[in-house]
Structure 1
C-alpha cells in the first residue's frame, strides 16, 4: 500500500526521547496499515526485547505486543489483517477517523483534516488506497511533526494541535472496536499498545497545557 501523504525525510533528532516517540508512531502506523512482513517479524523475534520505557506505563502493553508478534506468522498475520480491515463489502473494523466521529466515512472530519494537512504543507498521494483519516496516516503525520526537518512546522505546538484535533478524539474508539472483535489476536495486542501510547501522549500534552 502507498501512504497518501508526502513527507520530507525524518531527521535524527538530538533528543533520544523524541526520536523514540517518532519511531513508535512510525511502528504503529506500519502495523495498522498492513500486516508485518518477514523483516519486521524478525526484528520483533530478535532485536525488539526491551520496553520503550522500562518500568513505565508502556511496559506491560509493549510486552504483550512483542509476545503476540512472536507467536504469529507472516501468513497468519496477513490473514488476520485482511479479515479485520479488508472484508468484502465493508471491513469488520473501520480504521478511519470519520467513522468514529460521525458514524460515516468521508465526512466533515476528513475535510477538516485535509485542510489542516494543507496548512502543514502536506499533500496527498493520489495513488493511495486509503484516505488521510486512516489511523496509519494520522500517526505518520505525528511522526513527521516530531522528527521532520522543517522546524517551522515540526515542533511541539504543531504536535499538540494535531494530536488534540485528529488523534485523541477517536483512536481509542478504534482500539475498543479492535480489542472486542473475536477475530482479533495479534491486532488485539496492537490495539492495546496503541491505547496505552495514546494515553501517555494525552497525559504529556495535558501537562504541557497546565
Structure 2
C-alpha cells in the first residue's frame, strides 16, 4: 500500500508539472516528490476556498487539462478541475463563491468543522482545534475574523505541517482529530451544491484527494 499511494502521488506530481499545472506543486527541494504533491494540493484547496480565484490562478489550474487519464479518481478529478478553470470566467466564479459560502445571511454551505460535527458554529471542536494549534505554535492573526476551523484554514495548516516536515504521526494526528470526521462530507456537498459550477469540480478534486490522503496517513511509514 505504501508503494502504491506514493507512486500515485509521484506520478501526479510529474504529470501536472509537465502540463504546466504548477498550482499543485509546492516546489520545495527539501521535500520528496510525494510530500511536495501533498503540500501543494492542500495549498491549492486553501487558495480556492478562502476566496474566488483570479485569472492568474485559473490559468495555472487550467494546465490540469493535459494530465494523462488513468483509471484512478485523482487524475480524473484533476482533469475536470482543469477543464472548469478553462471554461469558467472569474466574474461568474466570484458570484458562485458568494452564493455558496456567503449569501444573504448564510451561503448554501457552511465551511466550518464545528458546523459539520455539531450543527453549530464555535462549538467544542473549535476549542480542541485551538488547543492543538497553540501546541503546534500557531497564533491567530488578529486581522482574521473567521474561526480557525474554516476548511481553507485547516488545509493551510496541513500544508505548513508537511512543508515543515513534521513527523508523519503528528500530521496524521492533526488530520484525524480535526479533518477526517467531516472534510469528505463537505467536499461531497460542494460537488453536489445547486449554486456550484466551477466549485463542483473543486469538490470532486477535494473528495479524490482526501480519500488518497486518508489512506496515506493511515500507513505506518
The TM-score by the shorter chain falls in which range? 0.7 to 0.9
* Deviation (angstroms), 1:190: 0.5
The yes-or-no answer on 1:18 pairing with 2:35 is yes
* Deviation (angstroms), 1:180: 2.5
Distance 2:181 2:67 in 1: 26
Which residue in 1 is equivalent to 2:202? 190
**Matched residue of 2:31: which SS?**
coil
Distance 2:168 2:31 in 1: 15
Distance 2:69 2:213 in 1: 13
* Deviation (angstroms), 1:137: 0.7
Q: How does 1:1-210 map to 2 (within 5 A)?
A: 12-45=29-62, 47-51=63-67, 56-148=72-164, 154-208=166-220
After the TM superposition, which parts of structure 1 deviate over 6 Å for at least 4 consecutive aligned residues? none
Distance 2:52 2:201 in 1: 13
Distance 1:170 1:138 in 2: 12
Q: Per the alignment, do residues 64 and 127 of structure 1 end up closer, same or farther by CA in structure 2, a change over 3 Å counting?
A: same
Q: Per the alignment, do residues 65 and 48 of structure 1 end up closer, same or farther by CA in structure 2, a change over 3 Å counting?
A: closer
Distance 1:139 1:52 in 2: 26
RMSD of aligned alpha carbons:
2.0
Distance 1:84 1:198 in 2: 21
Larger RCO (CA under 8 A, 6+ residues apart): 1
Kept in 1: contact 2:45–2:152 (CA 8 A)? yes
Distance 1:52 1:101 in 2: 37
Give unpaired runs (5+ residues) of structure 1.
1-9
Kept in 2: contact 1:72–1:186 (CA 8 A)? yes
Distance 1:30 1:42 in 2: 14
Kept in 2: contact 1:28–1:139 (CA 8 A)? yes
Q: Deviations over 1:74-96 (max 9, x none)?
A: 10111100111011111210000
* Deviation (angstroms), 1:129: 3.3
Distance 1:139 1:131 in 2: 14
Q: Per the alignment, do residues 187 and 169 of structure 1 end up closer, same or farther by CA in structure 2, a change over 3 Å counting?
A: same
* Deviation (angstroms), 1:132: 0.6
